[in-house]
Structure formats: C-alpha cells, structure tokens
Structure 1
Amino acid sequence: MKAVRVHEYGKPPTLDDIPDPVVQGPLDVIVKVDAAGVCRTDLHIIEGQWADKSGVELPYVIGHENAGTVQEVGAAVSTVAPGDKVILHPLVTCGLCRACRAGDDVHCADSRFPGIDTDGGMAEYLRTSVRSIVKLDDGLAPADVAALADAGLTAYHAVRKAVPLLHPADRVVMIGAGGLGHIGLQCLVAMTPSRVTVVDRSQEVLDKALALGAHATVLSDGSQVEQVLEQTGGEGAQVVLDFVGENGTEADGVAMTRNSGSYFVIGYGGTIDVPTIDVISREINIVGNLVGSYNDLADLMELAAQGRVRLATQQYSLNDALTALDDLDGGRVPGGRAILTS
C-alpha cells in the first residue's frame, strides 16, 4: 500500500510502498482509510518536536485523524462488520486499566497512538482496535468528518470542560477560528448560551466566524487585548480558549482572562510565562487540553449528524500528501482542514 512516512526529522516525509497491515489479535480491525486529516501536529512531528515524547522508531507512517470503511475484523469483533463507515478514535486503548474503566480512556495506562508513536493513517489501510471505532450516521461521509477524529475531538473536549463554568451572561473569548477553532466555535454555539468573541489575525476567518454564530469578532492587529477588555467592561472573559498557543497568543490569552477565570490551552508550540503571584492574586486557572475520550467522539458525531458541527475542508489525494503538508505549513489552508482522500 501507499503510505506517508517520516524517515528523518527536519526533512520532508516520502510517499512509500509498504506491506498492508494484517489482523494480529481478536479485537483488531483493518480499516480502508477513505479520508485522513492533515494536522499541524503532523508538521511538529516532522520538525522533531515529538521525537522524545513519542519515542517512535523511524521510519513510520504519520496521520492520526482517520475515517473510512471497515475491511476486515478480528475473531472477537461483533459490533462492526466489513463495509461499515467509521471514524477512529485516535488512541488504541486497553480497556482494562483504571482510566479506561472510568471512561477516561485518553489517559489509558497502556495505549498506542497511531500516527504519533506507531504507524498511522496517511495510508491506504490502518490497523486499529474495535475499541477505537465509532460507526458513522448514514448521512455522514468519512471525508466530511475525518479531521473531527482529533482536531474536532480536542476542540469538543475543551468546550465540554468549559461549559460548566459558563452562564448566559458570561463572555467567552476564542483565539483562532481556523482549522481547529472553527470546530470549537460551533461546539460553543451548540453547547452554551454565553456570548462568544472570536479573535483572529485574518478578516476572512472572522467573517466566517460570524456566519458560524460568533457574537463578536476582534482583528488581531496589536490592539486585540485592549479591544477584548473594552468589550468586557475592563474585566476580561470568564473563559478564554486559545486554539493557537504560540506567537504571543499565550500572553494575550492570560491578559484577556478575567480574575477567577480560566485560560484553556488547546493549540501549542509556545510558552506560558506567568508570575506565580499573578496566578494567586488573580486566582486564574490555566487548563491543559489533550484529545477527548471515546465518549466525547461519539457525542461529537451526534452533533455532526444533527448538522450542528460542520467541517470546512480542502481535499487532496493521498498522492498529493506532501503538497497538502506544504500548503498547511505555508498558511494556504485558511479557515478549514486539509483532508487526504483515497
């Protein structure tokens, strides 16, 4: 099969011919990957940012946002069958540890993360576990939802954690409404009555945010913190969701957060530098967000089936994977997600 593999950090991956995956255990499922999301994390992997954390042996196949068609199943699989359209939770989990039994499978003690620490789905086929599979509603196609497997799941997970902190009179600020943020915005609009302000450096993205239900926008032109404070009566927002997490948004996000409020970090790449006395005196919370649980993904697919969360996509063939990665790196996928189709 064809697969996009990293051979050396700091150098572009290559499109290789490698053996097809095969069923190895009773809970295994082989999925024909009809659609694979291209994520900024893939760029960070290629750069080498994940080398120490993942410990993966090179070369390996990247791609952690996958949806497709069940091709073959292990002997103990009874909940899906060949031909089923599915989306894959990005983690392959054990189901036996305390975290899994508590429904917190994202912190499984014995998990694999295809595309991060083992072969992923920028390929024609992928081996996963039945525990990772969510069947798609008949009205959903793999290419329409693939990037929701990680980007959408992460956005939903952060919003779900923020919802209990919000009341109808509260203000939420979102930094970044592009590929990741536009999903988070739709989740916010669907799940909370609070007023949402979107901050972005692109006027085109801000216009799209208004169309998706944002109540107000702020152009990131150097005065974004002052504009947000003006909108919030000088207090800042109860919740700030930072879908960028680098290039200065970290400092902006903390400055936009009201006293006793919460700054949610979703995008990454930068550094948060906050004096501890400010954390204490302002009593602010800094909240990290990894990917969501299996149940989060199932809930997100329900919102997608209801038409309340839609993914803006720019599609490429698997053969054009390197172009898609380069376009993402060059900012040529505005306001949506790049998707590889096969």
Structure 2
Amino acid sequence: MKAVRLHEYEQQPTLEDVPEPKATRPFDVVVRIGGAGLCRTDLHIIEGQWAAKSNVSLPYTLGHENAGWIHEVGAAVEHLQPGDAVILHPLVTCGFCRACRAGDDVHCQHSDFPGIDVDGGMAEFLVTSARSVVKLAPGVEPADVAALADAGLTAYHAVKKATPLLFAGSTCVVVGAGGLGHIGVQCLRAMSATRIVVLDANEQALAMTPDWGADETVLVDGDHVEKVLEMTDGAGAEVVLDFVGEQGAQQDAWEMTRRAGSDFVIGYGGTIEVPAIDVISTERNVVGNLVGSYNDLVELMALNADGKVTLHTSTYPLDAVADAIADLDAGRLRGRGILVP
C-alpha cells in the first residue's frame, strides 16, 4: 500500500510502498482510510519537536486524524462489520488502567498514538483497536469529518472543560480562526451562552467567524490586547482559548485573561513566561489541553450529526502531501487539509 513516511527530521516525508497492516490480535481493526487530516502537529513532528517525547523509530507513517471504512476485524470484534463508516479516536488504549476505567483514556498508561509514536493513517490502511472506533451517522463521508478525530476533539475537549466557567454575560476570547479555532467557536456557540470574541491576523478568516457563531472579532494588529481589554471594561476575559500558542499569541492570551480567569493553552510551539507573583496575586490559571476522551469524540460527532459543528476543509490526493504541507506552513490553507488516498 502507499503511505506517507518520515525518514529524517527537518526533511519532507515521502510517499512510498509499505506492507498492508493485518488484524493479528483479537481486538485489532484494520481501517481503509477515507481521509487523513493534516495538522500543524505534523509540521512540528517533521521539525523534530516531538522526537524526545514520542521516541518513535524512523521511518514511520504520519497521520493522527483518521476516518474511513472497516476493512478487517480481529476474532473478538463483534460490533463492527467490513464496510462500516467510522472515525477513529486518536489513541489505541489498553482499557484496563485507572485512567481508562475512569473514562480518561487520553491519559492511558499503556497507549499507542498512531501518527505520533507508531504508524499513522496517511496511508491506504491503518490498524487500530476496536476501542478507538466510533461509527459515523448514516450518509456522513469519512473525508468530511476526518479532522474532527483530533483537531475537532481537541477543540471540543477544551471547550467542554471551559464551559462551567462561561456563565451568561461572560466573555470568551478565541485566539486563532484557523483549523482548530473554527471548530472551537462552533462548540462554544453550541454549548454556552458566553460572548465569543475571535482574534486573528487574517481579515478573510475573521470575516468567516460570524457564520460559526462569533459575536465580535478583533484583528491582530499590535493593539489587539488593548482592544480586548477595552471591550471587557479593562478586566479581560473569563476564559481565553489559545489555539495558536506561538509567535507571541501565548503571551497575549495571558494578558487578556482577567483576575481569577483561565488561559486555556491548546496550540503550542512557543513558551509561556509568567511571573509566579502574577499567578498568585490574580489567581489566574494556565490550563493545558491534550486531545480528548473517547466519550468526548462521541459527543462531538453527535453535534456534527445535528449540523452544529462542521468542518471547513480542503482535500488533497495522498501523492500531493508536499503541496498540502507547503500550503499549511505558508498559511494558505483555510480550515483543515485532508489527504484522501
């Protein structure tokens, strides 16, 4: 089969032939990929940012946002049939550790993360676990929802954590109207009564946000932090959802967070530098966010089936992965890029 393989950090991945995976364990599931999302994390992987954390052996196949159709199942799998349309929770989890039994499977003590530390889904086929599979609603095409498997799940997970803090009359600032941000805004609108203020450096991206549920927009122009403070009577927002996390956005997010507020860090790449006295004296929080649970994905897909959360996507054939990466890296890509084998 064809697969997008990374051979060396700081070098572009290549499309090549590799053996097709098989269902060798009782709960294995082989999925024929219908769409694999391209994520900024893939750029960070290529740059080597994940090398020390993933400890993956190169070469390996990229792709951690995957959807498709059941192709083959292990001997113990009874609820899935070949041809079923599915989306995949990003992790392959054990089901037995404390985190899994608590429904917090993103922190499974014995997990694999296809596309991060084992072979992923930028390929014609992917092997995962029956525990990771969510069936799609009738009529939903895998390529249309693949990016919900990670980008959507991450945004939903952060919004779900923030929702108890977002009472009617509160303000939530969304930093970034791109691939994650456009999902986060929709989740906020579906799940809360907060005022949604979206920041982005791209006027075209901002122009799209009212359709997603944004109440107000602010162009990132050097004065944007002051504008947000003015909009909140100098206090700042109860919650800031930072979907950028680099190039200064991470510091802006902290500055826009009010006393006792929470700065949710979702995008990454930069460094947050906050004096300890500022955390103590204002009781502000910095909250990390990593993907989401299996149940989070089920809930997100329910919102998608109801038309409350949809994806803005651009599709590329698998052999155009270099073009897709270049478009994402240069900021030409609106929404999410999807590779279709």
Which category describes the TM-score, using the shorter chain as reference length?
over 0.9
Look up the match of 2:189: 189
- Determine if the alignment matches structure 1 residue 135 to structure 2 residue 135: yes
In 1, Cα distance between equivalents of 2:131 and 2:177: 31
AA matched with 1:96: F
AA matched with 1:340: L
SS in 2 for 1:159: helix
SS in 2 for 1:251: helix
- Determine if the alignment matches structure 1 residue 13 to structure 2 residue 13: yes
- Determine if the alignment matches structure 1 residue 333 to structure 2 residue 307: no
**Comparing 153-162 with 318-327, which one deviates more in the overlay?**
318-327
Look up the match of 2:173: 173
Look up the match of 2:257: 257
In 2, Cα distance between equivalents of 1:60 and 1:138: 33
Cα deviation code 1:192-213 (max 9, x no counterpart): 0011000100111111011211
AA matched with 1:146: A
Map of 1:7-86 to 2, 5 A cutoff?
7-86=7-86
Look up the match of 2:146: 146
In 2, Cα distance between equivalents of 1:210 and 1:203: 13
Look up the match of 1:94: 94
Asked if the contact 1:243–1:266 (Cα under 8 Å) also holds between the matched residues in 2, the reply is yes
In 2, Cα distance between equivalents of 1:246 and 1:320: 27
Asked if the contact 1:139–1:305 (Cα under 8 Å) also holds between the matched residues in 2, the reply is no
Look up the match of 2:281: 281
In 2, Cα distance between equivalents of 1:30 and 1:17: 17
- Tell me the CA shift for residue 182 of structure 1: 0.2
SS in 1 for 2:12: coil
Asked if the contact 1:314–1:338 (Cα under 8 Å) also holds between the matched residues in 2, the reply is yes
Map of 1:113-262 to 2, 5 A cutoff?
113-262=113-262
Large movers: runs of 4+ above 4 Å = none
In 2, Cα distance between equivalents of 1:129 and 1:95: 11
In 2, Cα distance between equivalents of 1:235 and 1:140: 43
TM-score, with length taken from structure 2: 0.99
Flag structure 1 segments of 5+ consecutive residues without an equivalent: none
In 2, Cα distance between equivalents of 1:75 and 1:106: 25
- Tell me the CA shift for residue 322 of structure 1: 1.5
- Tell me the CA shift for residue 270 of structure 1: 0.3
In 1, Cα distance between equivalents of 2:322 and 2:248: 29
Look up the match of 2:315: 315
SS in 2 for 1:67: strand
SS in 2 for 1:70: strand
- Tell me the CA shift for residue 331 of structure 1: 1.1
In 2, Cα distance between equivalents of 1:178 and 1:208: 10
SS in 2 for 1:321: helix
TM-score, with length taken from structure 1: 0.99
SS in 2 for 1:271: coil
SS in 2 for 1:42: helix
- Tell me the CA shift for residue 139 of structure 1: 3.0
In 2, Cα distance between equivalents of 1:162 and 1:314: 29
In 2, Cα distance between equivalents of 1:11 and 1:179: 24
In 2, Cα distance between equivalents of 1:213 and 1:58: 42
Flag structure 2 segments of 5+ consecutive residues without an equivalent: none
Q: When the two structures are aligned, how many residues end up with a matched partner?
A: 341
AA matched with 1:107: H
Cα deviation code 1:23-53 (max 9, x no counterpart): 1100000000010000000010011110110
Asked if the contact 1:5–1:62 (Cα under 8 Å) also holds between the matched residues in 2, the reply is yes
AA matched with 1:295: N
